[in-house]
Chains A and B, each alone.
Chain A
Amino acid sequence: MAEFTKGLENLQEAIIACQQASTAVATASTTEAVQARSALTGVLTSLNEVSDKFFIKTMMSVPPTKACRTEAAAVATLVAEQKWASLPAAVEKLEKATKALVTKAKMDGTTIT
């Protein structure tokens, strides 16, 4: 099996974006940045936990990991540009995408063939 799949690639990009955002909000003092810290920590934990799941090696992982990548990139951009007012909504979307990914990674009810 290809070692590097599209789902894993998306996931790694999402993790990198979340780490960048997490590092930046750790030193910011605005209310929105402070609120985002624990959310981003939770997201990173979840993304790292799914990274070695079988699901990530399947084609089915591509859409939900792409969604996480997109939302993580949006959060990282807002943090980099210090657009704090828009941050809570973006973090919420990232949490929702991450939750969807974690649920799908369990592959409940998935028939392989």
Chain B
Amino acid sequence: MATSEVYYMNARSESPQTGLVAKMLTVFEAAGLDRLIKPGDLVAIKIHCGEWNNTAYLRPVFPRALADRIKELGGRPFVCDTTTLTYQPYASRATELDLKITAERNGFSSAVLGCPFICADGFIGTADYRVDIPAGYLLKEAYIAQAIAAADVLICLTHFKGHPLGVIGGAIKNLGIGCQSKRGKHNVHLGGHPKYSVANAAIWHPENFKGKAGMEDWKILEDCCAYGLFRVDDNTIHWDRAKCTSCMGCLGVMAPRGLFEFPQENFAATDVSIADGALGAVIAVGKDKCGFINLAIDVTPRCDCVNFADMPIVPNLGVFASKDPVAIDMACLDKVRESHGVPGSIADDFDLLEPGTRKFETVAALVHGLSEETQINTGALNGLGNREYVLIETEPQAMKRHVFALDQRPIGERFRETFLKFPPFPYERHDGQGFLRKQEVDTEFIKAWHGNGGNAEVTGSTGAAE
């Protein structure tokens, strides 16, 4: 059976060369992802920019450092994300405008990134490139975001975490949902499918609607659908389900109110489609032009697509890089399983603190019966990659490679003349000591002093500004 290489460094840091940014760049090179890039290449760095008020998405310094490295290689990087489906009533990334505003609020702007941040699928999400996927397990075509399909190289920079539908959110999901246009996301979520679409998989219970008089917030039943498919009369609700696109916007509204019986088949089939969509993205760019970096830090149970972030379920695990999205996700999943859970997290709520437990399909999946391996298994089956891998622990690079990049001279060289001209230390004051202070105090005494009230010596002149 084929085996793929996954390069890995753990999450511990005690020096510039072992910080997480340095480790990300180290595994990027160790995995040979730098060698994918030729001078002049357009390089798409696909990230998840985080939903409004989410706090667990990857810090902007990660794509920034990667973009800087790509520029050193002669590439032309851009950081990108794609518009979302209208998957919740208050979605903040459903158009290019909203996506860029949300991304910028989260720190992703050209000023921060040192390269453009763009919406890869256009204003509404229909700028895309159709590819055939003959090897797809369920999907036979995919619609890939135009800017990603047009790139010479794709680097998926992925925050590895859970997902309520996909169970895990790794490289496969970054490809299989993130790299799809909005049109492609409808495809992956099985809109229009005769069996697996929300329209066909959900059981509709309009009889559970008790009338406008009995539901103060009845208007959300109409307003949750961007396609206007629900109509509420005084005592009835109607759903034009033939036109349902499986955008998921109504699920969080209808299901809690007893109007939907939940389409679990849609979720299970979507997990399969994610891996097929991922294959489509790789086909669009070129299999030998795609690289994957997973950062298994802040491993939250829910995706960055929700408006909040729960406690991580495991400690930070490290950084991974590979040319195989299936292998890299399997490696991350194995590390999560091997890890202790975090006390006080949802893993604790489910008594999953011991190593060796399958955590995501319990703490992340919204419903019972989903597997944390469906995406990986489908990706192995459709040829996206291999679930067998060899984990290669990577040594840190030289410290000098990871210090302040704009001027790597030591501070003596950099500041000696400047500090002569603008001395920050007031040598001329207080006999060269610079500042007004007591000559000595009892530091041992104060370590154990728990009294209250002031020291009589503290009162006196407040001094004057200089």
Q: Do A and B bind each other?
A: yes
Chain A residues in the interface with B (C-beta under 8 A): 1-2, 5-6, 52-55, 57-60, 62-63, 66, 105-107, 109-113
Chain B residues in the interface with A (C-beta under 8 A): 87-88, 163-165, 189, 248, 251-252, 255-258, 260, 262, 264, 302, 305-307, 346, 349-350, 362-363, 365-369
Q: Which residues from chain B contact A57 at a C-beta distance below 8 Å?
A: 262, 367-368
Q: How far is the CA of A2 from the CA of B367 in the complex (A)?
A: 9
Known: A59-B363, A111-B88. A54 touches B255 (CB 8 A): yes
Question: Which of B248, B256, B365, B369 is the one whose CB lies under 8 Å from A107?
Answer: B256
- Which among A62, A105, A111 has the highest number of chain B CB atoms within 10 Å? A111
A-B contact pairs, 24 of them (CB 8 A): A1-B368, A1-B369, A52-B258, A53-B256, A57-B262, A57-B368, A58-B367, A59-B365, A59-B366, A62-B350, A106-B256, A107-B255, A109-B307, A110-B256, A111-B88, A111-B305, A111-B307, A112-B87, A112-B164, A112-B165, A112-B251, A113-B164, A113-B248, A113-B305
Contact A113 B251 (CB under 8 A): yes
- Which among A59, A62, A105 has the highest number of chain B CB atoms within 10 Å? A59
B177: nearest residue on chain A (CB-CB)? A113
Contact A2 B349 (CB under 8 A): no
Closest Cβ of chain B to A62, distance in Å, is 6
Q: How far is the CA of A106 from the CA of B299 in the complex (A)?
A: 26
Closest Cβ of chain B to A61, distance in Å, is 11
B259: nearest residue on chain A (CB-CB)? A54
Closest Cβ of chain B to A113, distance in Å, is 4
Q: How far is the CA of A110 from the CA of B252 in the complex (A)?
A: 6
Known: A58-B367, A59-B368. A111 touches B349 (CB 8 A): no
Q: How far is the CA of A105 from the CA of B255 in the complex (A)?
A: 11
B260: nearest residue on chain A (CB-CB)? A54
Q: Which residues from chain B contact A105 at a C-beta distance below 8 Å?
A: 256
Contact B248 A59 (CB under 8 A): no
Closest Cβ of chain B to A88, distance in Å, is 27
Question: Which of B256, B305, B365, B369 is the one whose CB lies under 8 Å from A54?
Answer: B256
B306: nearest residue on chain A (CB-CB)? A111
Q: Which residues from chain A contact B302 at a C-beta distance below 8 Å?
A: 111
Given contacts A1-B262, A1-B369, 16 further A-B contacts (CB under 8 A): A2-B368, A54-B255, A54-B262, A58-B367, A60-B366, A62-B349, A105-B256, A110-B256, A111-B87, A111-B305, A111-B307, A112-B252, A113-B163, A113-B189, A113-B248, A113-B251
Q: Which residues from chain A contact B252 at a C-beta distance below 8 Å?
A: 107, 110-112
The 7 closest A-B pairs by CB, nearest first: A63-B349, A107-B256, A112-B251, A54-B255, A111-B88, A113-B165, A112-B252
Contact A55 B256 (CB under 8 A): yes
Question: Which of B164, B362, B368 is the one whose CB lies under 8 Å from A111?
Answer: B164
Q: Which residues from chain A contact B350 at a C-beta distance below 8 Å?
A: 62-63
Contact A5 B368 (CB under 8 A): yes
Q: Which residues from chain A contact B365 at a C-beta distance below 8 Å?
A: 59
Closest Cβ of chain A to B176, distance in Å, is 13
Closest Cβ of chain A to B303, distance in Å, is 8
A52: nearest residue on chain B (CB-CB)? B258
Closest Cβ of chain B to A102, distance in Å, is 12
Q: Which residues from chain A contact B163 at a C-beta distance below 8 Å?
A: 113
Q: How far is the CA of A106 from the CA of B368 in the complex (A)?
A: 19
Contact B264 A1 (CB under 8 A): yes
Contact A59 B256 (CB under 8 A): no
Q: Which residues from chain A contact B251 at a C-beta distance below 8 Å?
A: 112-113
Closest Cβ of chain B to A51, distance in Å, is 12
Q: How far is the CA of A102 from the CA of B252 in the complex (A)?
A: 17
Contact A2 B307 (CB under 8 A): no
Q: How far is the CA of A53 from the CA of B248 in the complex (A)?
A: 19
Closest Cβ of chain A to B206, distance in Å, is 15
Closest Cβ of chain B to A95, distance in Å, is 20
Contact B349 A58 (CB under 8 A): no
Closest Cβ of chain A to B207, distance in Å, is 14
Closest Cβ of chain A to B240, distance in Å, is 20
Closest Cβ of chain B to A58, distance in Å, is 5
Closest Cβ of chain A to B267, distance in Å, is 8
Q: How far is the CA of A5 from the CA of B305 in the complex (A)?
A: 26
Known: A107-B252, A110-B252, A111-B305. A66 touches B349 (CB 8 A): yes
Q: How far is the CA of A57 from the CA of B369 in the complex (A)?
A: 11
Contact A112 B88 (CB under 8 A): yes
Contact B255 A112 (CB under 8 A): yes
Q: Which residues from chain A contact B260 at a C-beta distance below 8 Å?
A: 54
